[in-house]
Structure formats: structure tokens, C-alpha cells
């Protein structure tokens, strides 16, 4: 068994040449995790979660702290035994295999570099049973890949955080794993290094064509790096989709609120097939197949950047009257806080946020107390059943 494993590990893997097949077109499922339950005593960390990854795909697991994302990674790795559910790698059931037999590379949040070994020895640590010349060649190759070949004889403590992170990546990759697992790989770094390393990791991942699972609590990281994102909350799978889908078509209010910012308008009443009553206004909504019945309650949601400032003179559909409560400068955008007014110009006690991107608040001469018309474009309005996440 060990011999076969070693042979498997020493299979040629590509470092400089591109993969034979581009990973995006290879639709064969490589990793599949089915119906995982994991409890720690009375606490449920994972509740019936199933995810999968195609060969060469970059999947990110995203969620607030304590949602079970690291546990999920540890279950995939075989570092944690689940209470229920199975793990499949490359069509093989590895549920009962320990981490040693799963042929994967892990980069931990703390990097866990061996402090008493040089960078070169760290990277070559998993290459036991090979000739030392082979080992060194392979280690240097990996260090070259992460751009640290010149640091080979230093110790981890002598490198910066970002460099240590890349050493950990090189170490995880050097025995040619089939699956790469990253546990919050960038969380310990400062913002600038983080942005740079995001691209680095993605470049290396694409170059090797290795299937990768990354855990993160940073939505920007997940959205920019991953092909698909798993959103977890309180141990439950919220949505598993591409970043675009997550942003444009969130499956539930949690995802809608967690990814980006979102205005929620609660307590609307549906009237007819595609319109909604809100404080005397009638809004056109495309709520298609959400299963909402006529006359029922509904929660509308719209992103602040999708709100438009309307022209006073032209009466467009879906317009609302609002009063500026404050303007906040945020660099690229101006965020305007609005108090919604009824058609008669009375405050109705709702607040909306509006992000101005094309023209600044100054251009529009928006000031506190100023009244204006806003437009809620029907195509951008999302609708959710009521009472879900009412506390948001």
C-alpha cells in the first residue's frame, strides 16, 4: 500500500508546462463530499452538508466565524472524523482513510513551518524515500515556483509572513498532491500582501491544475479567487454557486446580506403577478418562481449601487420619494442614507442606502434634508419570503 502510494505521489506533475487539458473544461467531479454531519458534544458544527469540486477547480468555503468551514476542511482532509456522511476522491471512497492515505497537501492558517529546519528542508520534508539529489531538485523547483529560490537556506523565522505563507504552499505542493487544501491562508497577513498573494496562489493553482479547496471568512478573497463558492452558516449549506451567481442571485437573505451590502424592504404586500404594494407605492417586481402567493407578505431586497436617483420631472415606474439623511464619503463611492417618504411627503420610517458611483453627491448637490426621487429597477429587485431572518 505504502509503495503504491509513493509511486502515485512521484507521478510526474507539471510545473512549467501547462496542463494537458484546461481545468475549466474538465467537468469530471474530482472531490465529492456527501451529507456530512459533525457534532462536538451538543454543538452541531456541520449539518448535512454536501459539496463537490471538479478536477482543477478552485472552490472556496466562505462563512462567518464559527460556521463550521474549518471543520469542513478538516473532514475533507481526514483530520477530523465526521459523525455521518462520506468523502469521495477521484471516484474512490476515502471516508475511512486517514489523512496519510488521501494524497493531499494542506496549508494551515499558522503555516506550521518547522522552525528548526531550513526553507529547503521544510519544502523537502514530504519527499522522503527519494534520492537526496532528486529531493533537492524538486524542492528548489517548488521554491522557484513560489519565487523564493534565493531564500532556500534561511530559517522560517527569518522570513516575512508572506514569504512563510509561500513556503508553506511550496511544502504542501512538493509531494505532488492531487488535492490542495488551504485553511485561511491569507488571514495572518496585512492587506497589501494579501492582495498580491491572492493572485500568486491562483496563478500557481492554475499552472499546476490542482483541485483546490480554500477556507476563508473574507468574501472578497472568496469572490476574486474561486471558481465556485460554498457559503456556510451555522453548519448549514446556504448556497454553492459561482461568485457572480452569489452576488446577483443570492438564494436566501443570509447570502444576500453576507455578500456585499443589501437594502432589505420588509413588510411589502404582493398584488397581482408582478407588483408589490409598499407604503402606498406600487412597485413592479419580477419574483417569478419564489412561490409567493398573491396578497401575501414579501421582503424585497436591492443593492445600494442598483438604486438610481431619478429625475423629478419624469414619472418613471418604481420611483419612490426619499429625503437625504446623510452622505458618507467612501472613496470610490458616496453612500447616501435615505429616509423613505410617502407620496404625500411624510416620513414612513424606512431607511435605504444608495451608492453613487457615476456622479458624486456633490455633482447632484445632495445635502442633508434634501428631497429626491429614487428608482428601484425591477430587474434588480430581489424578493424573498417574509419572516426569514427578520432580525437582519
Does 187 contact other proteins by CB under 8 A?
A: no
CA–CA distance from 67 to each of 30, 108, 222 (Å)? 25, 18, 15
Contact call for residue 329 and other proteins (CB under 8 A)? no
What is the rounded CA–CA span in Å between residue 387 and residue 288?
Answer: 19
Q: What residues contact residue 179 under an 8 Å CB cut-off, 6+ apart?
A: 30, 31, 76, 89, 102, 103, 104, 105, 210, 211, 212, 213
* Contact region with other proteins (CB under 8 A), list: 155-163, 192-200, 255-263, 345-353: 155-163
The answer to whether 100 contacts other proteins (rule: CB under 8 A) is yes
What residues from 227 to 286 belong to the interface with other proteins (CB under 8 A)?
Answer: none
Helices (H), the chain: 2-9, 69-77, 119-123, 132-145, 161-173, 191-208, 219-225, 243-248, 253-258
> Rounded to an integer, what distance in angstroms lies between the CA atom of residue 124 and that of residue 127?
5
Shortest distance in whole angstroms from residue 125 CB to other proteins: 6
Question: Using CB under 8 A, which of the segments 115-123, 217-225, 246-254, 258-266 binds other proteins?
Answer: 115-123
Interface with other proteins (CB under 8 A), residue from 16, 25, 27, 115: 115
Taking the complex as a whole, how short is the minimal distance between the CB of residue 175 and other proteins, in angstroms? 5
Q: How many residues bind other proteins (CB under 8 A)?
A: 51
Indicate whether 160 belongs to the interface with other proteins (CB under 8 A).
no
Among 34, 39, 370, 380, binds other proteins (CB under 8 A): 39
Q: What are the DSSP calls for 174-231, one per residue?
A: TT--SEEEEESTTTTS-HHHHHHHHHHHHHHHHHHT-EEEEEES-HHHHHHH-SEEEE
Q: Least distance in Å: CB of 234 to other proteins?
A: 13
43 part of the interface to other proteins, by CB under 8 A: yes
One residue of 15, 117, 149, 189 binding other proteins per CB under 8 A? 117
Does the protein bind other proteins through residue 45 (CB under 8 A)? yes
Identify whether the C-beta of residue 320 lies closer than 8 Å to the C-beta of residue 373.
Answer: yes
Q: Which residues pair with 275 in a beta bridge?
A: 271, 284
Does position 163 interact with other proteins (CB under 8 A)? The reply is: no
Q: Which residues bind other proteins (CB under 8 A)?
A: 2, 5-6, 9, 37, 39-43, 45, 70-71, 74, 77-85, 95-102, 104-106, 108, 110, 112, 114-117, 125-126, 128, 155-158, 171-172, 175
Amino acid at each position: 500500500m505504502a509503495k503504491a502510494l509513493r509511486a502515485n505521489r512521484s507521478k510526474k506533475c507539471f510545473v512549467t508546462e501547462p496542463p494537458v487539458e484546461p481545468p475549466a473544461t474538465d467537468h469530471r467531479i474530482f472531490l465529492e463530499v456527501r451529507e456530512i454531519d459533525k457534532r462536538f458534544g451538543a454543538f452541531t458544527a456541520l449539518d448535512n452538508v454536501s459539496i463537490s469540486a471538479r478536477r482543477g477547480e478552485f472552490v472556496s468555503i466562505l462563512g462567518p466565524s464559527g460556521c463550521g468551514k474549518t471543520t469542513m476542511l478538516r473532514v475533507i482532509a481526514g483530520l477530523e472524523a465526521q459523525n455521518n456522511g462520506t468523502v469521495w476522491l477521484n471516484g474512490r471512497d476515502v471516508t475511512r482513510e486517514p489523512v496519510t492515505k488521501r494524497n493531499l497537501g494542506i496549508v494551515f492558517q499558522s503555516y506550521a513551518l518547522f522552525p528548526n529546519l531550513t526553507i529547503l528542508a521544510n519544502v523537502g520534508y514530504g519527499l522522503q524515500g527519494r534520492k537526496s539529489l532528486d529531493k533537492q531538485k524538486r524542492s528548489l523547483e517548488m521554491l522557484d515556483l513560489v519565487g523564493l529560490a534565493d531564500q532556500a537556506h534561511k530559517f522560517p523565522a527569518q522570513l516575512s509572513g508572506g514569504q512563510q505563507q509561500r513556503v508553506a504552499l511550496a511544502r504542501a505542493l512538493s509531494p505532488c498532491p492531487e488535492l490542495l487544501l488551504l485553511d485561511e491562508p491569507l488571514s495572518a497577513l496585512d492587506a497589501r500582501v494579501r492582495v498580491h498573494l491572492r493572485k500568486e496562489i491562483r496563478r500557481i493553482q492554475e499552472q499546476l491544475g490542482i483541485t483546490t479547496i480554500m477556507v476563508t471568512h473574507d468574501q472578497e478573497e472568496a469572490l476574486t479567487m474561486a471558481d465556485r463558492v460554498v457559503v456556510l452558516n451555522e453548519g448549514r449549506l446556504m448556497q454553492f454557486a459561482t461568485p457572480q451567481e452569489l452576488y446577483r442571485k443570492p438564494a436566501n437573505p443570509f447570502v444576500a446580506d453576507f455578500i456585499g451590502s443589501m437594502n432589505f424592504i420588509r413588510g411589502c404586500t404582493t398584488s397581482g403577478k408582478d407588483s408589490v404594494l409598499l407604503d402606498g407605492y406600487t412597485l413592479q417586481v419580477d419574483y417569478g418562481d419564489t412561490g409567493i402567493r398573491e396578497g401575501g407578505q414579501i421582503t424585497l431586497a436591492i443593492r445600494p449601487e442598483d438604486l438610481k436617483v431619478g429625475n423629478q420631472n419624469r414619472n418613471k415606474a418604481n420611483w419612490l420619494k426619499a429625503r437625504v439623511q446623510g452622505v458618507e464619503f467612501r472613496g470610490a463611492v458616496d453612500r447616501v442614507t435615505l429616509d423613505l417618504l410617502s407620496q404625500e411627503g411624510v416620513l414612513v420610517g424606512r431607511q435605504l442606502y444608495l451608492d453613487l458611483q457615476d456622479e458624486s453627491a456633490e455633482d447632484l448637490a445632495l445635502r442633508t434634508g434634501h428631497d429626491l426621487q429614487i428608482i428601484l429597477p425591477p430587474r434588480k429587485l430581489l424578493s424573498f419570503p417574509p419572516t426569514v431572518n427578520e432580525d437582519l
